[in-house]
Protein backbone atom coordinates (compact mmCIF):
# COMPACT_ATOMS: atom_id res chain seq x y z
CA UNK A 1 0.00 0.00 0.00
CA UNK A 2 1.19 3.52 -0.75
CA UNK A 3 2.89 4.83 2.44
CA UNK A 4 0.98 8.13 2.58
CA UNK A 5 -2.27 6.20 2.23
CA UNK A 6 -1.15 3.99 5.13
CA UNK A 7 -0.69 7.06 7.31
CA UNK A 8 -4.00 8.66 6.33
CA UNK A 9 -5.88 5.39 6.71
CA UNK A 10 -4.55 5.22 10.28
CA UNK A 11 -6.20 8.58 10.87
CA UNK A 12 -9.44 7.36 9.28
CA UNK A 13 -9.36 4.16 11.34
CA UNK A 14 -8.91 6.24 14.49
CA UNK A 15 -12.11 8.10 13.63
CA UNK A 16 -13.99 4.87 12.96
CA UNK A 17 -12.91 3.16 16.18
CA UNK A 18 -13.20 6.17 18.48
CA UNK A 19 -16.97 5.73 18.84
CA UNK A 20 -16.61 3.43 21.85
CA UNK A 21 -16.87 4.35 25.49
CA UNK A 22 -13.72 4.98 27.56
CA UNK A 23 -12.04 1.72 28.44
CA UNK A 24 -11.40 0.30 31.89
CA UNK A 25 -7.78 0.40 32.97
CA UNK A 26 -5.74 -2.70 32.32
CA UNK A 27 -3.21 -3.89 34.89
CA UNK A 28 0.36 -2.78 34.24
CA UNK A 29 1.82 -6.03 35.54
CA UNK A 30 -0.52 -8.94 34.83
CA UNK A 31 -0.60 -11.74 37.39
CA UNK A 32 -0.18 -15.41 36.39
CA UNK A 33 -3.92 -15.89 37.01
CA UNK A 34 -4.76 -13.03 34.63
CA UNK A 35 -2.41 -14.37 32.00
CA UNK A 36 -3.96 -17.83 32.36
CA UNK A 37 -7.31 -16.38 31.26
CA UNK A 38 -6.06 -16.59 27.68
CA UNK A 39 -6.45 -20.37 27.86
CA UNK A 40 -9.89 -20.55 29.46
CA UNK A 41 -12.33 -19.86 26.64
CA UNK A 42 -12.60 -22.67 24.09
CA UNK A 43 -13.98 -21.19 20.89
CA UNK A 44 -17.27 -22.46 19.53
CA UNK A 45 -17.36 -24.14 16.14
CA UNK A 46 -20.02 -25.29 13.72
CA UNK A 47 -23.40 -23.62 13.16
CA UNK A 48 -24.51 -21.01 15.73
CA UNK A 49 -27.56 -18.71 15.95
CA UNK A 50 -25.84 -15.35 16.49
CA UNK A 51 -27.52 -12.47 18.37
CA UNK A 52 -31.09 -11.19 18.29
CA UNK A 53 -32.01 -7.85 16.71
CA UNK A 54 -32.98 -4.48 18.13
CA UNK A 55 -36.33 -3.19 16.82
CA UNK A 56 -36.76 0.55 16.21
CA UNK A 57 -40.26 1.64 15.16
CA UNK A 58 -42.17 4.73 14.18
CA UNK A 59 -45.77 4.08 13.26
CA UNK A 60 -45.83 0.98 11.09
CA UNK A 61 -42.25 1.46 9.82
CA UNK A 62 -39.48 -0.59 11.43
CA UNK A 63 -35.70 -0.46 11.50
CA UNK A 64 -34.11 -3.73 12.60
CA UNK A 65 -30.54 -3.35 13.93
CA UNK A 66 -27.99 -6.15 13.99
CA UNK A 67 -25.09 -5.67 16.41
CA UNK A 68 -21.79 -6.96 15.02
CA UNK A 69 -18.80 -8.20 17.01
CA UNK A 70 -15.10 -8.23 16.14
CA UNK A 71 -13.17 -10.43 16.51
CA UNK A 72 -15.23 -13.61 16.11
CA UNK A 73 -14.37 -17.34 16.19
CA UNK A 74 -12.70 -18.29 12.94
CA UNK A 75 -14.35 -21.70 12.54
CA UNK A 76 -18.05 -21.18 13.08
CA UNK A 77 -21.01 -20.68 10.76
CA UNK A 78 -23.66 -18.10 11.57
CA UNK A 79 -27.18 -19.50 11.19
CA UNK A 80 -28.68 -16.23 9.95
CA UNK A 81 -32.18 -17.40 8.99
CA UNK A 82 -33.92 -14.53 10.80
CA UNK A 83 -31.69 -11.92 9.19
CA UNK A 84 -32.12 -13.51 5.77
CA UNK A 85 -35.92 -13.38 6.16
CA UNK A 86 -35.92 -9.74 7.31
CA UNK A 87 -33.66 -8.65 4.46
CA UNK A 88 -35.91 -10.38 1.94
CA UNK A 89 -38.86 -8.36 3.30
CA UNK A 90 -36.95 -5.06 3.52
CA UNK A 91 -36.43 -2.24 1.06
CA UNK A 92 -32.93 -1.30 2.21
CA UNK A 93 -29.90 -2.39 4.23
CA UNK A 94 -28.10 0.38 6.13
CA UNK A 95 -24.43 -0.22 6.99
CA UNK A 96 -22.27 1.70 9.44
CA UNK A 97 -20.71 4.91 8.16
CA UNK A 98 -17.54 4.50 6.10
CA UNK A 99 -14.67 6.91 6.71
CA UNK A 100 -12.42 7.75 3.79
CA UNK A 101 -9.49 10.10 3.34
CA UNK A 102 -9.02 12.15 0.19
CA UNK A 103 -5.64 13.56 -0.80
CA UNK A 104 -4.27 14.34 -4.24
CA UNK A 105 -2.08 11.56 -5.65
CA UNK A 106 0.56 13.79 -7.22
CA UNK A 107 0.81 15.88 -4.08
CA UNK A 108 1.33 12.70 -2.08
CA UNK A 109 4.23 11.50 -4.26
CA UNK A 110 6.38 14.45 -3.20
CA UNK A 111 5.63 13.74 0.45
CA UNK A 112 6.92 10.16 0.34
CA UNK A 113 10.15 10.78 2.31
CA UNK A 114 8.24 12.57 5.06
CA UNK A 115 5.68 9.79 5.31
CA UNK A 116 8.37 7.16 5.68
CA UNK A 117 9.78 9.26 8.48
CA UNK A 118 6.37 9.48 10.11
CA UNK A 119 6.04 5.69 10.13
CA UNK A 120 9.43 5.11 11.71
CA UNK A 121 11.07 6.25 14.93
CA UNK A 122 13.14 9.41 14.84
CA UNK A 123 16.84 9.13 13.97
CA UNK A 124 16.31 5.57 12.75
CA UNK A 125 15.98 4.24 16.29
CA UNK A 126 14.60 0.76 16.98
CA UNK A 127 11.99 -0.15 19.57
CA UNK A 128 14.82 -1.52 21.70
CA UNK A 129 16.20 2.02 21.90
CA UNK A 130 12.83 3.76 22.31
CA UNK A 131 11.04 1.60 24.88
CA UNK A 132 11.85 1.17 28.59
CA UNK A 133 13.72 -2.14 29.13
CA UNK A 134 10.87 -3.85 31.00
CA UNK A 135 8.33 -2.92 28.33
CA UNK A 136 10.67 -3.97 25.52
CA UNK A 137 11.08 -7.40 27.13
CA UNK A 138 7.29 -7.82 27.17
CA UNK A 139 7.07 -6.62 23.54
CA UNK A 140 9.78 -9.04 22.47
CA UNK A 141 8.03 -12.02 24.08
CA UNK A 142 4.78 -11.28 22.25
CA UNK A 143 6.53 -10.39 19.02
CA UNK A 144 8.30 -13.77 18.97
CA UNK A 145 5.01 -15.53 19.71
CA UNK A 146 2.77 -13.75 17.20
CA UNK A 147 4.94 -12.02 14.58
CA UNK A 148 8.15 -14.02 14.44
CA UNK A 149 11.35 -12.92 12.77
CA UNK A 150 10.40 -9.57 11.28
CA UNK A 151 13.07 -6.96 11.92
CA UNK A 152 11.21 -4.28 9.96
CA UNK A 153 8.58 -3.94 12.68
CA UNK A 154 11.35 -3.04 15.15
CA UNK A 155 11.79 0.32 13.41
CA UNK A 156 8.10 1.26 13.42
CA UNK A 157 6.73 3.88 15.76
CA UNK A 158 5.29 2.20 18.88
CA UNK A 159 1.64 2.81 17.91
CA UNK A 160 2.19 1.29 14.45
CA UNK A 161 4.08 -1.65 15.96
CA UNK A 162 1.12 -2.09 18.34
CA UNK A 163 -1.26 -2.32 15.40
CA UNK A 164 0.85 -5.02 13.71
CA UNK A 165 1.14 -7.02 16.93
CA UNK A 166 -2.60 -6.87 17.64
CA UNK A 167 -3.59 -8.01 14.13
CA UNK A 168 -1.18 -10.96 14.17
CA UNK A 169 -2.18 -12.01 17.71
CA UNK A 170 -5.88 -12.08 16.82
CA UNK A 171 -5.28 -14.29 13.80
CA UNK A 172 -3.12 -16.73 15.77
CA UNK A 173 -5.68 -17.06 18.57
CA UNK A 174 -8.38 -18.82 16.57
CA UNK A 175 -10.17 -15.53 15.92
CA UNK A 176 -10.78 -13.47 12.82
CA UNK A 177 -10.76 -9.64 12.72
CA UNK A 178 -13.08 -9.68 9.68
CA UNK A 179 -16.59 -8.31 9.96
CA UNK A 180 -18.23 -11.65 9.17
CA UNK A 181 -21.74 -10.48 10.04
CA UNK A 182 -21.57 -7.61 7.55
CA UNK A 183 -20.30 -10.03 4.89
CA UNK A 184 -23.30 -12.33 5.48
CA UNK A 185 -25.72 -9.39 5.40
CA UNK A 186 -24.21 -8.20 2.11
CA UNK A 187 -24.59 -11.72 0.66
CA UNK A 188 -28.29 -11.95 1.52
CA UNK A 189 -28.92 -8.38 0.37
CA UNK A 190 -27.42 -9.23 -3.02
CA UNK A 191 -29.41 -12.47 -3.14
CA UNK A 192 -32.69 -10.61 -2.51
CA UNK A 193 -31.66 -7.60 -4.64
CA UNK A 194 -32.00 -5.22 -1.70
CA UNK A 195 -29.77 -2.12 -1.95
CA UNK A 196 -27.05 -1.65 0.67
CA UNK A 197 -26.61 2.01 1.68
CA UNK A 198 -23.37 3.07 3.38
CA UNK A 199 -23.06 6.69 4.55
CA UNK A 200 -19.68 7.96 3.36
CA UNK A 201 -17.82 10.47 5.50
CA UNK A 202 -14.97 11.94 3.45
CA UNK A 203 -12.11 13.56 5.33
CA UNK A 204 -10.51 16.20 3.16
CA UNK A 205 -6.81 16.63 3.89
CA UNK A 206 -6.22 20.12 2.53
CA UNK A 207 -2.59 20.23 3.61
CA UNK A 208 -1.09 16.69 3.63
CA UNK A 209 2.36 18.06 4.48
CA UNK A 210 0.99 19.73 7.60
CA UNK A 211 -0.94 16.57 8.52
CA UNK A 212 2.30 14.57 8.39
CA UNK A 213 4.08 17.17 10.51
CA UNK A 214 1.22 17.02 13.02
CA UNK A 215 1.40 13.22 13.12
CA UNK A 216 5.17 13.33 13.66
CA UNK A 217 4.65 15.73 16.56
CA UNK A 218 2.53 13.15 18.42
CA UNK A 219 5.50 10.79 18.95
CA UNK A 220 6.43 10.51 22.60
CA UNK A 221 5.16 9.02 25.85
CA UNK A 222 1.58 8.68 24.55
CA UNK A 223 2.86 6.78 21.54
CA UNK A 224 4.63 4.37 23.90
CA UNK A 225 1.48 4.16 26.04
CA UNK A 226 -0.46 2.90 23.02
CA UNK A 227 1.93 -0.02 22.62
CA UNK A 228 1.99 -0.67 26.38
CA UNK A 229 -1.81 -0.89 26.56
CA UNK A 230 -1.87 -3.19 23.53
CA UNK A 231 0.70 -5.47 25.16
CA UNK A 232 -1.25 -5.45 28.44
CA UNK A 233 -4.47 -6.37 26.65
CA UNK A 234 -2.87 -9.27 24.81
CA UNK A 235 -1.31 -10.48 28.07
CA UNK A 236 -4.56 -10.37 30.04
CA UNK A 237 -7.63 -10.16 27.80
CA UNK A 238 -7.41 -12.78 25.06
CA UNK A 239 -9.54 -15.11 27.15
CA UNK A 240 -12.26 -12.48 27.56
CA UNK A 241 -11.97 -11.64 23.87
CA UNK A 242 -12.65 -15.28 23.04
CA UNK A 243 -15.55 -15.32 25.53
CA UNK A 244 -17.08 -12.24 23.89
CA UNK A 245 -16.70 -13.88 20.47
CA UNK A 246 -18.45 -17.01 21.79
CA UNK A 247 -21.24 -14.95 23.40
CA UNK A 248 -22.00 -13.23 20.07
CA UNK A 249 -21.93 -16.52 18.16
CA UNK A 250 -24.42 -18.24 20.49
CA UNK A 251 -26.59 -15.12 20.86
CA UNK A 252 -25.96 -14.51 24.58
CA UNK A 253 -26.55 -10.75 24.85
CA UNK A 254 -26.53 -10.79 28.67
CA UNK A 255 -23.03 -12.28 28.67
CA UNK A 256 -21.87 -9.59 26.24
CA UNK A 257 -23.22 -6.92 28.58
CA UNK A 258 -21.48 -8.41 31.61
CA UNK A 259 -18.09 -9.19 30.07
CA UNK A 260 -15.55 -6.41 30.63
CA UNK A 261 -14.43 -4.63 27.50
CA UNK A 262 -10.90 -3.32 28.08
CA UNK A 263 -9.65 -1.71 24.90
CA UNK A 264 -6.19 -0.42 24.11
CA UNK A 265 -7.53 1.90 21.44
CA UNK A 266 -8.34 4.64 23.95
CA UNK A 267 -4.61 5.04 24.58
CA UNK A 268 -3.83 4.89 20.86
CA UNK A 269 -6.48 7.49 20.05
CA UNK A 270 -5.00 9.72 22.76
CA UNK A 271 -1.62 9.41 21.07
CA UNK A 272 -2.95 10.35 17.62
CA UNK A 273 -5.00 13.24 18.99
CA UNK A 274 -2.32 14.72 21.25
CA UNK A 275 -1.66 17.29 18.51
CA UNK A 276 -4.37 20.00 18.91
CA UNK A 277 -5.01 20.26 15.16
CA UNK A 278 -5.44 16.48 14.78
CA UNK A 279 -7.60 16.37 17.90
CA UNK A 280 -10.01 18.92 16.43
CA UNK A 281 -10.14 17.07 13.10
CA UNK A 282 -10.93 13.83 14.94
CA UNK A 283 -13.66 15.50 16.99
CA UNK A 284 -15.32 16.92 13.88
CA UNK A 285 -15.03 13.63 12.00
CA UNK A 286 -16.58 11.63 14.86
CA UNK A 287 -19.50 14.05 14.97
CA UNK A 288 -20.00 13.61 11.23
CA UNK A 289 -19.92 9.80 11.49
CA UNK A 290 -22.66 9.83 14.14
CA UNK A 291 -24.67 12.59 12.49
CA UNK A 292 -24.56 11.15 8.98
CA UNK A 293 -25.61 7.69 10.16
CA UNK A 294 -28.50 9.06 12.26
CA UNK A 295 -29.67 11.12 9.26
CA UNK A 296 -29.53 8.02 7.04
CA UNK A 297 -31.50 6.02 9.64
CA UNK A 298 -34.15 8.77 9.86
CA UNK A 299 -34.52 8.76 6.08
CA UNK A 300 -34.70 4.96 5.91
CA UNK A 301 -37.43 4.75 8.56
CA UNK A 302 -39.46 7.49 6.90
CA UNK A 303 -39.17 5.94 3.44
CA UNK A 304 -39.22 2.18 4.05
CA UNK A 305 -41.71 -0.16 5.69
CA UNK A 306 -38.72 -2.30 6.74
CA UNK A 307 -34.97 -1.66 6.90
CA UNK A 308 -32.13 -3.74 8.31
CA UNK A 309 -29.21 -1.78 9.78
CA UNK A 310 -25.79 -2.96 10.95
CA UNK A 311 -23.77 -1.38 13.77
CA UNK A 312 -21.04 -2.62 16.16
CA UNK A 313 -22.71 -4.16 19.19
CA UNK A 314 -20.54 -2.13 21.56
CA UNK A 315 -22.01 1.00 19.95
CA UNK A 316 -25.53 -0.29 20.63
CA UNK A 317 -24.71 -0.95 24.29
CA UNK A 318 -23.27 2.52 24.90
CA UNK A 319 -25.56 4.69 27.06
CA UNK A 320 -24.79 7.67 24.79
CA UNK A 321 -24.52 5.76 21.50
CA UNK A 322 -26.57 6.01 18.34
CA UNK A 323 -29.32 3.72 19.63
CA UNK A 324 -29.73 6.06 22.60
CA UNK A 325 -29.89 9.02 20.22
CA UNK A 326 -32.67 7.33 18.24
CA UNK A 327 -34.56 6.76 21.48
CA UNK A 328 -34.13 10.44 22.39
CA UNK A 329 -35.65 11.37 19.02
CA UNK A 330 -38.88 9.60 20.00
CA UNK A 331 -38.52 6.22 18.31
CA UNK A 332 -39.86 3.18 20.15
CA UNK A 333 -37.06 0.68 20.76
CA UNK A 334 -37.28 -2.97 21.78
CA UNK A 335 -34.20 -4.92 22.88
CA UNK A 336 -33.50 -8.37 21.38
CA UNK A 337 -35.64 -11.17 22.80
Evaluated on CA atoms 211, 217, 221, 227, the torsion sign reads positive
State percent of the chain over pLDDT 70.
79
The rounded distance, in Å, linking the Cα atoms of 153 and 119 is 10
Identify the DSSP state of 76: E
Cβ proximity of 11 and 41 under 8 Å: no
- Nearest CA-CA partner of 153 in 121, 183, 180: 121
pLDDT in tens, 214-237: 777 777 788 898 899 899 888 877
C-alpha distances (whole Å) from 110 to each of 137, 208, 209, 218, 308 are 38, 10, 9, 22, 44
pLDDT in tens, 73-121: 887 778 888 999 999 999 999 999 887 766 665 565 555 566 666 788 8
Q: Is residue 71 reached through a cis peptide bond, with omega within 30 degrees of 0 on the bond before it?
A: yes
Cβ proximity of 229 and 267 under 8 Å: yes
pLDDT in tens, 3-59: 445 555 555 555 555 444 333 333 344 333 333 333 345 666 767 778 889 999 999
pLDDT in tens, 169-187: 988 888 888 888 899 999 9
Domain boundaries, the chain: 3-334
- Nearest CA-CA partner of 51 in 322, 330, 321, 316: 316
Q: Please state the pTM of the whole predicted model.
A: 0.78
pLDDT for the residue 110: 59
Amino acid sequence: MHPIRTLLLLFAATVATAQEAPSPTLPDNPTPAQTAQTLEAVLVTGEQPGPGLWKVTKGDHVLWILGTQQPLPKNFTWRAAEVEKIIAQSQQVLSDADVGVHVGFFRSIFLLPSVLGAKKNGDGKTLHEVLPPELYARWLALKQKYIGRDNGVERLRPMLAANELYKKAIKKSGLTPDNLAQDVVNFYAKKSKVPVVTPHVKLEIEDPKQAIADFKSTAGSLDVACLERTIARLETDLGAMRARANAWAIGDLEALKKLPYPDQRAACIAAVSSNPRLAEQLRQARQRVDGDWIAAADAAIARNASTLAVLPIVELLRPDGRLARLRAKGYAIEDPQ
